[in-house]
């Protein structure tokens, strides 16, 4: 494709292929392509290499971010654990209160039965 372009230009301009090639080489040296005119593939590779370079030149930043994420997750788990322990503690306190009330009722009932038995025994 490049050869046919050079050949066609040489024919239309009435010049030799070597002269057309020298013209393009000189033009290329005077006006190098700007980064915006680079082919997409080269821009893509440049971006990928920059990302890789950033990733390997700044691993501490990435590790620090991961550490912060893990630290936050651990703090959330500790808060949830603390809330669960407090809920269990409240449940145990309610159970203790109910057992205390049942214990008092059992003592009152036992005392009432003893009083009735004493009255029955004394009335004979």
Contact 48, 55 (CB under 8 A): no
User: Per-domain residue ranges for the chain?
Assistant: 1-32, 36-122
Distance CA(109)–CA(102), nearest Å, equals 10
Is the pLDDT at 37 greater than 60, yes or no? Answer: no
Nearest-angstrom CA–CA distance, 116 and 122: 10
Q: Model confidence over 56-115: pLDDT tens digits?
A: 667 777 788 889 999 999 999 999 999 999 999 999 999 999 999 999 999 999 999 999
Cα–chain center distance at 24 = 52
Lowest-confidence segment of 5-9, 15-19, 99-103 by average pLDDT:
5-9
Token representation of residue 60: 């501490």
Instruction: Summarize the confidence of residues 14-41 as an average pLDDT.
Output: 77
The pLDDT confidence band at residue 36, using thresholds 50, 70 and 90, is low
Q: What is the pLDDT of residue 10?
A: 87
Number of C-beta neighbours around residue 20 at 10 A: 19
């Amino acid at each position: 494709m490049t050869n046919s372009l050079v050949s066609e230009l040489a024919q239309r301009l009435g010049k030799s292929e070597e002269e057309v090639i020298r013209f393009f080489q000189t033009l290329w040296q005077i006006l190098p392509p700007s980064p915006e005119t680079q082919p997409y593939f080269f821009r893509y590779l440049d971006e990928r290499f920059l990302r890789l370079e950033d990733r390997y030149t700044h691993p501490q930043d990435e590790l620090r971010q991961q550490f912060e994420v893990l630290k936050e997750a651990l703090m959330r788990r500790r808060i949830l654990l603390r809330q669960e322990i407090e809920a269990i503690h409240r449940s145990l306190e309610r159970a203790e209160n109910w057992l205390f009330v049942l214990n008092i009722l059992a003592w009152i009932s036992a005392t009432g039965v003893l009083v009735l038995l004493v009255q029955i025994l004394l009335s004979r």
